[in-house]
Structure 1
Amino acid sequence: MPPPDHHKDDQYLKEVIPKRIQLFQSIQSQQKSHIQSLPHDPIKVVLPDGSVKEGKRWESSPMDIAKGISKSLANNALISMVDGVLWDMNRPLESDCQLKLFTFDSDEGRDTFWHSSAHILGQSLETEYGCKLCIGPCTTRGEGFFYDAFYGDLGLNQDHFKSIESGALKAVAEKQPFERIEVTKEQALEIFSDNSFKVEIINDLPVDKTITVYRCGPLVDLCRGPHIPNTSFVKAIACLKASSAYWRGNKDRESLQRVYGISYPDQKRLKEYIEMLREAEKYDHRELGKKQELFFNHPLSPGSWFFLPYGTRIYNKLVEFIKKQYLERGYQEVISPNMFNMKLWETSGHAANYKENMFLIDIEKQEFGLKPMNCPGHCLIFDHKVRSYRELPLRMADFGVLHRNEASGALTGLTRVRRFQQDDAHIFCRESQIKDEVRGVLEFIDYAYTVFGFTYELKLSTRPEKYLGKMETWEKAEADLAEALNEFGKPWQINEGDGAFYGPKIDISVSDALKRKFQCATLQLDFQLPERFKLEYSAEEENGIERPVMIHRAILGSVERMFAILLEHYKGKWPFWLSPRQAIVCPVSEKSQPYALQVQDQIVKAGYYVDVDTTDRKIQKKYRVLGFIRKTYCPTKLVIVELHIVITVDLGDVSVSSVSRSLQVREAQLAQYNFILVVGEEEAKTGQVSVRVRDKADHSVMNIPSLLEQFKEKTEAHQ
């Protein structure tokens, strides 16, 4: 099917793009001449293994060093790091330095690869549709990239993808180099004078910010970079979906369209990724949630979900799991208000930086806001009385309800909501306690994620360009975090310059059964909020007053989001300890129902979730019929239709009760009950149950005490 007709802005393509290229080339020529005039003194380049390579200042590039090591490395290295700063492979080195090289198998390499792929996508979109490009990063999930653009009246959909991909592959085939220039604010405004979105970005940049512009083929784009050497490294690229977006995430601004893409260095990996997406679609938490009657949402409360009885069982189990650990790990639970006067958020800084994401309420001519996070409220709790160093560390936990005014277009099932709860906690401690507290949080994370069956990666995000506080405080905090990570004993990486402005942090990304990555847990140091709220405690020294350090931490993160991740991770098959349907008792006849209810009562009193199948399955008085889609009866045959498969059972050869029993078991298996307990007259006489386990064909006969002991063992082992 050909893509719908669209109006291409020919003037934009014929005049704007050539003008940008001309300005880019003019500035590039001047900068190359300047670099050639500089002294090309010898420099020493130190590699991670300690070996030293020789080069020339303003002449040798990381690519030259890679070629000197091996042809294979030069063919696969995507990006470099020079003294802790990511650096284009073809950008000349400026002095003696330490050099690291990254391939696609590293986070740095993948992120750069996908960021560069976004430029290739942007080039195709701009040349094909004459749209005004906005931003095009790699995704925060770490899987692919997207580009936001303004198209006017054109609505993109999957019918456009073939032509978009064709344009992208054309750029790949041309082996377009990624070229970099540095420009002044005035030059940047001139280059992008025809794109109001880029102009707004430029005008908002700090005065002292170095502005960089990149070119690949006809695309000239405002970008801090860095990028892969050229477009030919992207051997496989595909569009995934198109959606709406708002400029700068503000629902009151221009409506944009976002195209998501994925790319790889070879077709095999792209094919594997597409297969993984197809597999993931089968287990989308929204569909599984409907099938298992766990939750739903309603247009009268968008972004806020209703949890049904079975879903509430899981939700509560997750909360109880964390709360039990709180008792063992020295946390104190608190409950804080849902709504605060905006003066609180002015003190914390959220009024200036987060107000548009808050729900605001006018009360008696004063402005209040529903809390989007717990930390300012916890500062008030800390400050409500005089504190002593003897009370520290103070670990304060809160499952309070949070509200964030997410744009309607960004709402995605349980993973992006407006109303949610976090297993939120804040640790107030002395600087000397940071290392031990951080290690304790890491051990908590490891315990929980091991129970869930996740693997995870750790990164230490260090001081960004713009930060608050003293340099020596940051250096001490980063050293404490690094030491805690080393003592923790798991592999970790440095994420240079990606810390929050108020303190360094440890980023934890988990991988589920489908090998998808998610950011759930949080561990951040904060020197800023204690300063803003003037928090103090009396020190050991007489009359000494000190300010605490605040550690923000969450293990599950949003309970709603973790619920969704686990539902997909387990593919709808909940482990027994977390399952909302731990067991069902299936009586094979009406005579067995009283005993089935007795069994249920014993199991419920032991603290487990158990249902009883009391469905009336009689037709006339002679036959028992079970059907999944429709039921058909004839005098000599029993016909059962299940998911388009027709099974005919000759009643002359098979007893009705045995058919009933097998179909009860099948129904229970499809409903994902962990244990199916079949009871008949024989079981009622002996006080036993016939036990079948989900997804297993065999069965065993057990008495109730033995069954409950098995349930207890599974619960304690989190199985």
Structure 2
Amino acid sequence: MSEIKVVRIHAGEREERTTTTGTKAWELFAEDAEVIAARVGEDLKDLSYELQDGDQVAGVAIDSQDGLDILRHSAAHVMAQAVQELFPDAKLGIGPPIENGFYYDFDVETPFVPEDLEKIETRMRKIIKEGQRFSRRVTTDADAINELQDEPYKIELIGLKGSGNSEDAAEGASVEVGAGELTIYDNVRRNGDVAWSDLCRGPHLPTTKRIPAFKLMRSAAAYWRGDEKNKQLQRIYGTAWPSKEELEAHLFRIEEAERRDHRKLGRELDLFSFPDEIGSGLPVFHPKGGVIKRAMEDYVRQRHIEEGFEYVGTPHIAKEGLFYTSGHLPYYGEGMFPALDVDGMDYRLKAMNCPMHNLIYRSRQRSYRELPLRLFEFGHVYRHEKSGVIHGLTRVRGFAQDDSHSYVTKEQAPAEIKHLLDFCLGLFRDFGLDDFYLELSTRDDSKPDKFIGSDEDWAIATKVLEDVCVDSGLELVPDPGGAAYYGPKVSVQARDAIGRTWQMSTIQYDFNQPSAERFNLEYVAPDGSRQQPVMIHSAKFGSIERFIGVLVEHYAGAFPPWLAPVQVQGIPIAERHAEYLYDVARRMKVAGLRVEVDDSDDRMQKKIRNAQLQKVPFMIIAGDDDVAAGAVSFRYRDGRQDNGVPIEEAIERVIAAVATREQV
């Protein structure tokens, strides 16, 4: 055996080692039980990988993102093995890791039922206990096709690999066939027998015993390769974690998320609905939901004015040519609704407000003294979302954006972006969200046909956004390829009360729409020359509908007093006390508060329970003693209660909570 030199990278330390040919990656990390794979250069490898001279090898811990993906992909293989052992006629689709879990698609005659998932879980535990080894072997297209002759979907993927389209073959298909050599993974028992095999690029865990904790979640129908023209398969979803404690915590988060589901709470609290007669993804707000929506709009409109924005308004439709000028139809046409014929001309429902704001800017000559010029509106837009992605208020087809566009000189752009970012973060804090990070979306240089503009302009715009993000002190996460066609963007990602991340504001640097080839926007510079401004797009909430959905889940429907549809519920102990509370309610309404009195025949405790179910922040309860003393019992949503509170003090308590936006 000859000597080779490798670099071991572990816990941030680099160590050069001399070893011999035939040494496996696992030997470098034998003392660290958390390492389940290796990164050699830029490539992920199994721990059974044979080291080569000059390799730089880093351990992949099971709790890292790469490690979690490998764990979950390995669990998907175990699930597929269990399915085929229990249902021998099942044909394999694909089985990739996804966020927090994995899935595998199967072609079976009868859809899976919950009892089937229980049987599959039991068989998976048996396979895991056996400690089957994941063994990689290289094969050829011809040999793989011969070996997998009973797996038509795998054979199709091999054919797509040959055509160079495997990455676009289906969501997750790249885990099956990569751009390089074709490989199959065998699940090998301890006696050397091959228990099961699957086409896969890997890598995988060393053995099935390295799957510490998993659970199958549900089954659903899914079209092969995501195309509704193809056959409908059965998809089983599962989750896997590095420990039982982490699995239990994840299941608790799911349970909590279901409890907070804004669609369920929207029905229970009578906030909004989605009538079939109107159409998918087109919500309507009921009076209580309308209160929340109006409170948000009033507040954010006032904040925009305070921040130097001017309020404008634009129509819902425009001639089709406008969206060719902006570039949206050539680059975003699939997201727009089909043309409408109006007097023999094609019109479009607008999917964005910026083209119309550009026309407002261009309506007269502008001077550098007017810049930054900040235009803002609640613009209602319509996007042709696929039916499969529509989800309550968080993914809709018609929504209002708190949309703004700042027109600035190039020199003003960094300060304006900082101004917008500070504005966004301040708004979110006002609404009770205070845990953020930033995501910088940049151009994908390998797909030049999806972006417009020069390399120089893209570099300048990206650098400006990046510098502002870094100066903010917030965590910055890259999003390669996620830019809009006209420029890079930064988005604010906010974590809610149970740690989920939501994309909120976006701030986009646009040097293309103002250009001579597009809207030909100009301003007169100090020297009298005509210069092109930079356009900064910004939507603070993103969409009001979506933000309401996020807030419903963040607060589990228990809105702070300033946003609550009903801020105070009056509860008379007996019928004779109702008129007294109606008088208190009238005084509260004069102070601008939202008050209702429950004069139903229900007993007092039932009325209190009803107010709690409706998540009303405050209750005022009145009986004989309260009427005699000109007071109320003041009850909080969490059950605390102060008795004998004078009416004026009770009113002041609510006014103060609303004015200070307390998170009661």
TM-score bracket relative to the smaller structure: 0.7 to 0.9
Identity of aligned pairs, percent?
29
Q: Distance in 1 between matches of 2:57 and 2:357?
A: 44
Size of the aligned set, in residue pairs, is 628
Q: 2:107 corresponds to which residue?
A: 151
What is the CA-CA distance between 1:270 and the residue it aligns to? Answer: 1.3
Give SS of 1:533's match: coil
Which of 429, 435, 439 lines up with 1:455 in the alignment? 435
Give SS of 2:133's match: coil
Give SS of 1:515's match: coil
Q: Distance in 1 between matches of 2:222 and 2:247?
A: 26
Q: Distance in 2 between matches of 1:690 and 1:543?
A: 70
Cα RMSD of the aligned pairs, angstroms, is 4.6
Q: 1:404 to 1:145 in 2, by over 3 A?
A: farther
What is the CA-CA distance between 1:280 and the residue it aligns to? Answer: 2.9
Which of 402, 415, 419 lines up with 2:394 in the alignment? 415
Describe the superposition over 1:493-516 as per-residue Cα deviations: whole angstroms up to 9, x where unpaired: 445565556544334433222233
Structure 2: gaps (5+ residues): 168-173, 187-195
Q: How does 1:472-621 map to 2 (within 5 A)?
A: 472-495=456-479, 499=483, 502-530=486-514, 533-538=518-523, 540=525, 542=527, 544-615=529-600, 617=601
Q: 2:655 corresponds to which residue?
A: 712
Describe the superposition over 1:280-338 as per-residue Cα deviations: whole angstroms up to 9, x where unpaired: 33333222222222222222233222221112112222323322321232333332322
Q: 2:404 corresponds to which residue?
A: 425
Q: 1:414 to 1:377 in 2, by over 3 A?
A: same
Q: Distance in 2 between matches of 1:712 and 1:431?
A: 45
Q: Distance in 1 between matches of 2:328 and 2:243?
A: 45
Give SS of 2:470's match: helix
Give SS of 1:260's match: strand
Q: How does 1:40-79 map to 2 (within 5 A)?
A: 52-54=14-16, 64=25, 71-72=31-32, 75-76=34-35
Q: Distance in 2 between matches of 1:48 and 1:479?
A: 31
Q: Distance in 1 between matches of 2:280 and 2:610?
A: 33
Q: Is the 8 A contact 1:338 1:401 kept in 2?
A: yes
Q: Is the 8 A contact 2:442 2:482 kept in 1?
A: yes
Q: Distance in 1 between matches of 2:404 and 2:56?
A: 39
Q: 1:56 to 1:262 in 2, by over 3 A?
A: same
Q: Normalising by structure 2, report the TM-score.
A: 0.78
Give SS of 2:538's match: strand
Q: Which amino acid aligns with 2:253?
A: M
Q: Which amino acid aligns with 1:337?
A: P
Q: Is the 8 A contact 1:79 1:227 kept in 2?
A: no
Q: 1:180 to 1:327 in 2, by over 3 A?
A: farther
What is the CA-CA distance between 1:211 and the residue it aligns to? Answer: 2.1
Q: Distance in 1 between matches of 2:156 and 2:405?
A: 42
Q: 2:171 corresponds to which residue?
A: none
Q: Is the 8 A contact 1:421 1:559 kept in 2?
A: yes
Which of 635, 638, 644 lines up with 1:692 in the alignment? 635
Q: 1:203 to 1:576 in 2, by over 3 A?
A: farther
Q: Distance in 1 between matches of 2:141 and 2:487?
A: 31
Describe the superposition over 1:343-363 as per-residue Cα deviations: whole angstroms up to 9, x where unpaired: 344444544554444332431
Q: 1:293 corresponds to which residue?
A: 270
Q: Is the 8 A contact 2:38 2:59 kept in 1?
A: yes
Q: 1:703 to 1:75 in 2, by over 3 A?
A: closer
Matched, 1:235 2:212: yes
Matched, 1:466 2:442: no
Q: 1:10 corresponds to which residue?
A: none
Q: 1:320 corresponds to which residue?
A: 298
Give SS of 1:482's match: helix
Give SS of 2:238's match: strand
Give SS of 1:211's match: coil
Q: Which amino acid aligns with 1:274?
A: L
Q: How does 1:168-207 map to 2 (within 5 A)?
A: 173-176=131-134, 195-196=155-156, 203=163, 205=165
Give SS of 2:111's match: coil
Q: Which amino acid aligns with 2:416?
A: E
Structure 1 stretch 39-48 or stretch 574-583: which is displaced more?
39-48
Describe the superposition over 1:643-690 as per-residue Cα deviations: whole angstroms up to 9, x where unpaired: xxxxxxxxxxxxxxxxx5444434333332211112345544554333
Describe the superposition over 1:353-390 as per-residue Cα deviations: whole angstroms up to 9, x where unpaired: 54444332431454443233334444444444444444
Structure 1 stretch 359-368 or stretch 245-254: which is displaced more?
245-254
Describe the superposition over 1:15-54 as per-residue Cα deviations: whole angstroms up to 9, x where unpaired: xxxxxxxxxxxxxxxxxxxxxxxx99968788896x6443
Q: Normalising by structure 1, report the TM-score.
A: 0.73
Structure 1 stretch 172-181 or stretch 365-374: which is displaced more?
172-181
Give SS of 1:556's match: coil
What is the CA-CA distance between 1:264 and the residue it aligns to? Answer: 0.9
What is the CA-CA distance between 1:579 and the residue it aligns to? Answer: 0.8
Give SS of 1:560's match: helix
